[in-house]
């Protein structure tokens, strides 16, 4: 027994119906609504086979059947193979943004907002992390007697800042001097080059050794960790639109996850390797998220750094529709950055 074309058609009909109504689908429904030219009894036999093959599940014996994760997976794979990811964007994301020039953080926050409105699911995204991005400018501004502010501006316009402790022996002029020296020697260098450059500088200067080492660490820390462990969220409360999360425990578990962020950030980072991912139910690997699907796409900045944007929702999800929207949004997002 294998999955012939008739079985596939029936399975598809069941998935479509279940996605639409969210209640178990019976043989009679398929026979009548999806005019297959087959009686309910025949469908019944096929459904029994499909269950044996692992594509369908039965909540209880007198209920209809619901698609399994395996079925969704088949469905999504065939969708993607059929070219749902192609086609130009009918969406003009640009029009959703006002004309102010914005930071990437603002753009992304806005994009998740838009995405959540378009899909009615919760949207989530992470900022791109670009180790090859070049430093543009560096400045050390004294704040108190023994603290200063380290400000780092990247070529893309990203700004990082961090309070650092300074040796009280360092005068404002010295700091200014170091600041200028560093801007000069670090500009157009990327993060991986910082250590090397500072090492050379230490040799030349032969003073302020500890301070420069600490600076180097701070710079690396800022660029590598700050911002890149933070989820951008949109439409958090959309979760409640679905009967799957009508029970408070379910909703709580997912909202706690969104609150905690860490696990999801890791997931998105991981997914960022792929242009497009669809993780159905337990495929995402997070315990307690077995009945959620996560769909992600990557977007890129002009410097070719890649971030991830996606949505999270119940396993029962109009995959085709959502995939198209997400595809468009990530495409438009990339465009938007190019223009800016």
Chain residues in the site for its own copies (CB under 8 A): 101-103, 136-137, 139, 141, 143-144, 147, 149, 151, 153, 155-157, 159, 161-165, 235-237, 240, 245-246, 248-249, 251-252, 255-256, 259
Which residue lies nearer to DNA by CB, 51 or 217? 51
Footprint (CB under 7 A) of DNA, residues 130-189? none
Least separation in angstroms between CB 137 and its own copies: 5
For the segment 8-37, give every residue that binds DNA (CB under 7 A): 24-29, 37
Interface with DNA, residue 66, by CB under 7 A? no
Q: Which residues contact 112 (CB under 8 A, 6 or more apart)?
A: 123, 124, 125, 232, 233, 234, 235, 309
Nearer to its own copies, 9 or 139 (CB): 139
When asked if residue 217 is in the footprint of DNA (CB under 7 A), the reply is no
Q: Would you put residue 288 in left (φ > 0), alpha (ψ -120 to 50) or beta?
A: left
Size of the site for DNA (CB under 7 A): 24
* Whether 127 contacts 108, CB under 8 Å: yes
- Residue 137's binding partner among its own copies, DNA, none (Cβ under 5 to 8 angstroms by kind) is its own copies
Q: Which residue has the tokens 């005068």?
A: 171
Helices (H), the chain: 5-21, 27-33, 40-52, 69-81, 104-119, 172-186, 191-205, 209-225, 248-260, 262-271, 319-339
Residue 314 binds DNA, judged by CB under 7 A: no
Q: Does 60 bind DNA (CB under 7 A)?
A: yes
41 binds DNA (CB under 7 A): yes
271 bridge partner residues: none
Q: Which of 277, 273, 236 is CA-nearest to residue 255?
A: 236
Query: How far is residue 229's CA from residue 208's CA, in Å, rounded to a whole number?
Result: 32
> Does position 287 bind DNA by CB under 7 A?
no
């Amino acid at each position: 027994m294998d999955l012939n074309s008739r079985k596939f058609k029936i399975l598809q009909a069941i998935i479509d119906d279940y996605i639409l109504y969210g209640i178990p689908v019976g043989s009679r429904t398929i026979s009548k609504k999806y005019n297959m030219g087959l009686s309910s009894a025949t469908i019944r036999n096929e459904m029994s086979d499909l269950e044996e093959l692992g594509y369908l599940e039965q909540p209880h014996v007198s209920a209809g059947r619901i698609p399994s994760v395996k079925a969704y997976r088949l469905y999504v794979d065939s969708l993607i193979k059929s070219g749902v990811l192609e086609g130009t964007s009918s969406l003009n994301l640009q029009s959703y943004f006002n004309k102010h020039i914005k930071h990437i953080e603002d753009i992304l926050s806005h994009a998740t907002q838009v995405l959540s409105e378009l899909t009615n699911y919760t949207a989530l995204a992470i900022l791109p992390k670009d180790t090859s991005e070049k430093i543009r400018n560096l400045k050390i501004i004294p704040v108190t007697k023994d603290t200063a502010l380290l400000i780092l501006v990247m070529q893309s316009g990203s700004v990082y800042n961090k309070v650092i402790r300074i040796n009280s022996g360092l005068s404002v002029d010295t700091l200014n001097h170091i600041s200028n020296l560093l801007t000069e020697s670090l500009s157009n260098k990327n993060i991986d080059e910082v250590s090397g450059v500072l090492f050379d500088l230490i040799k030349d200067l032969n003073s302020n050794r500890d301070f420069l080492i600490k600076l180097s660490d701070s710079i690396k820390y800022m660029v590598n960790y700050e911002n890149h462990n933070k989820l951008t969220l949109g439409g958090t409360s959309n979760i409640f639109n679905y009967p799957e999360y009508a029970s408070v425990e379910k909703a709580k578990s997912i909202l706690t996850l969104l609150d905690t962020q860490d696990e999801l950030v890791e997931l998105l980072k991981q997914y960022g390797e792929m242009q497009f991912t669809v993780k159905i139910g337990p495929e995402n690997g997070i315990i307690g998220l077995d009945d959620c699907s996560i769909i992600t796409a990557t977007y890129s900045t002009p410097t070719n750094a890649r971030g991830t944007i996606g949505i999270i929702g119940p396993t029962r999800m109009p995959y085709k529709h959502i995939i198209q929207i997400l595809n468009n949004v990530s495409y438009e997002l990339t465009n938007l950055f190019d223009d800016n």
